[in-house]
Protein backbone atom coordinates (compact mmCIF):
# COMPACT_ATOMS: atom_id res chain seq x y z
CA UNK A 1 0.00 0.00 0.00
CA UNK A 2 1.42 3.36 -1.03
CA UNK A 3 2.03 5.88 1.68
CA UNK A 4 2.95 9.37 2.65
CA UNK A 5 4.12 9.47 6.23
CA UNK A 6 4.76 12.41 8.49
CA UNK A 7 7.12 12.28 11.44
CA UNK A 8 4.67 13.43 14.11
CA UNK A 9 0.90 13.54 14.48
CA UNK A 10 1.03 16.10 17.28
CA UNK A 11 3.74 18.58 18.18
CA UNK A 12 3.93 21.31 20.81
CA UNK A 13 6.68 23.91 20.54
CA UNK A 14 7.54 27.20 22.17
CA UNK A 15 7.69 30.55 20.44
CA UNK A 16 11.09 31.10 18.86
CA UNK A 17 12.01 27.43 18.58
CA UNK A 18 13.23 25.96 15.32
CA UNK A 19 10.81 23.28 14.16
CA UNK A 20 11.32 20.49 11.65
CA UNK A 21 8.43 18.62 10.06
CA UNK A 22 9.43 15.57 8.07
CA UNK A 23 7.58 13.88 5.26
CA UNK A 24 8.47 10.67 3.46
CA UNK A 25 6.79 9.05 0.45
CA UNK A 26 7.44 5.58 -0.89
CA UNK A 27 6.01 6.04 -4.39
CA UNK A 28 9.02 7.50 -6.20
CA UNK A 29 7.04 10.69 -6.93
CA UNK A 30 8.87 13.71 -8.27
CA UNK A 31 6.44 16.22 -6.78
CA UNK A 32 6.00 16.88 -3.09
CA UNK A 33 4.03 19.57 -1.31
CA UNK A 34 3.50 21.19 2.06
CA UNK A 35 0.10 22.67 2.89
CA UNK A 36 -1.31 24.13 6.04
CA UNK A 37 -4.96 23.62 6.89
CA UNK A 38 -6.93 26.11 8.95
CA UNK A 39 -10.69 26.13 9.65
CA UNK A 40 -12.60 28.04 7.00
CA UNK A 41 -9.50 28.61 4.91
CA UNK A 42 -9.08 25.13 3.47
CA UNK A 43 -5.60 24.11 2.46
CA UNK A 44 -3.02 26.69 1.51
CA UNK A 45 0.19 25.81 -0.28
CA UNK A 46 3.38 26.72 1.56
CA UNK A 47 6.08 25.23 -0.67
CA UNK A 48 6.41 22.53 -3.25
CA UNK A 49 9.25 20.65 -4.86
CA UNK A 50 9.32 19.06 -8.29
CA UNK A 51 12.72 17.41 -7.98
CA UNK A 52 15.55 16.84 -5.56
CA UNK A 53 17.02 20.16 -4.40
CA UNK A 54 14.36 22.04 -6.39
CA UNK A 55 11.70 24.07 -4.63
CA UNK A 56 9.17 26.76 -5.34
CA UNK A 57 7.24 29.06 -3.07
CA UNK A 58 3.56 28.52 -2.73
CA UNK A 59 0.97 31.03 -1.62
CA UNK A 60 2.13 31.51 1.99
CA UNK A 61 5.88 30.84 2.25
CA UNK A 62 6.67 33.55 4.78
CA UNK A 63 8.21 32.15 7.94
CA UNK A 64 8.91 28.75 6.37
CA UNK A 65 11.68 27.07 4.45
CA UNK A 66 12.02 23.59 2.96
CA UNK A 67 14.66 21.03 2.18
CA UNK A 68 14.67 18.17 -0.30
CA UNK A 69 17.95 16.31 -0.30
CA UNK A 70 16.49 12.95 -1.31
CA UNK A 71 13.61 12.19 -3.63
CA UNK A 72 11.51 10.49 -0.98
CA UNK A 73 11.91 13.10 1.76
CA UNK A 74 10.62 16.67 1.98
CA UNK A 75 11.14 18.69 5.13
CA UNK A 76 9.37 21.82 6.28
CA UNK A 77 11.29 24.14 8.59
CA UNK A 78 9.96 26.85 10.81
CA UNK A 79 13.05 28.91 11.54
CA UNK A 80 11.54 30.68 14.55
CA UNK A 81 8.11 29.38 15.42
CA UNK A 82 5.37 31.88 16.18
CA UNK A 83 1.89 31.42 17.59
CA UNK A 84 0.29 32.24 14.21
CA UNK A 85 1.93 29.12 12.83
CA UNK A 86 -0.24 26.94 15.04
CA UNK A 87 -2.03 24.83 12.46
CA UNK A 88 -2.46 21.43 10.82
CA UNK A 89 0.34 20.72 8.34
CA UNK A 90 -0.27 18.31 5.49
CA UNK A 91 2.34 16.81 3.23
CA UNK A 92 1.44 15.36 -0.16
CA UNK A 93 3.05 13.81 -3.17
CA UNK A 94 2.07 13.23 -6.78
CA UNK A 95 3.39 11.96 -10.06
CA UNK A 96 0.98 13.66 -12.44
CA UNK A 97 -1.57 16.42 -12.19
CA UNK A 98 -3.77 16.09 -9.17
CA UNK A 99 -2.49 15.20 -5.76
CA UNK A 100 -3.66 11.75 -4.90
CA UNK A 101 -1.76 11.00 -1.76
CA UNK A 102 -1.76 13.04 1.43
CA UNK A 103 -0.09 12.29 4.69
CA UNK A 104 -2.12 12.06 7.91
CA UNK A 105 -1.08 15.55 9.01
CA UNK A 106 0.88 17.07 11.88
CA UNK A 107 -1.05 19.23 14.31
CA UNK A 108 1.43 21.83 15.51
CA UNK A 109 0.76 24.01 18.52
CA UNK A 110 3.10 26.91 19.23
CA UNK A 111 2.78 28.36 22.73
Partner 1 sequence: AQSVTQPDIHITVSEGASLELRCNYSYGATPYLFWYVQSPGQGLQLLLKYFSGDTLVQGIKGFEAEFKRSQSSFNLRKPSVHWSDAAEYFCAVGAQAAGNKLTFGGGTRVLVKP
Question: Could you tell me the smallest distance in angstroms from the CB atom of residue 40 to partner 1?
Answer: 5
3-class secondary structure, 44 = strand
Residue 97 in the binding site for partner 1 (CB under 8 A): yes
Q: Considering CB under 8 A, how many residues would be counted as binding partner 1?
A: 26
Calpha distance 26→73 (Å, rounded): 9
Interface with partner 1, residue 69, by CB under 8 A:
no
Q: Minimum CB separation from partner 1 for residue 65, in Å?
A: 19
The smaller minimum CB distance to partner 1, of residues 40 and 53, is found at 40
- Cβ burial of 38 (10 Å; 0-12, 13-18, 19+) is exposed
Give, as ranges, the residues between 4 and 33 that touch partner 1 (CB under 8 A).
Answer: 4, 31, 33
Q: What's the min distance (Å) between Cβ of 49 and partner 1?
A: 10
DSSP for residue 59: S
Amino acid sequence: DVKVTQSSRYLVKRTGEKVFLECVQDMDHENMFWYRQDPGLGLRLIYFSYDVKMKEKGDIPEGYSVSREKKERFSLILESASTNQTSMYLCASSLFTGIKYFGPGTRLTVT
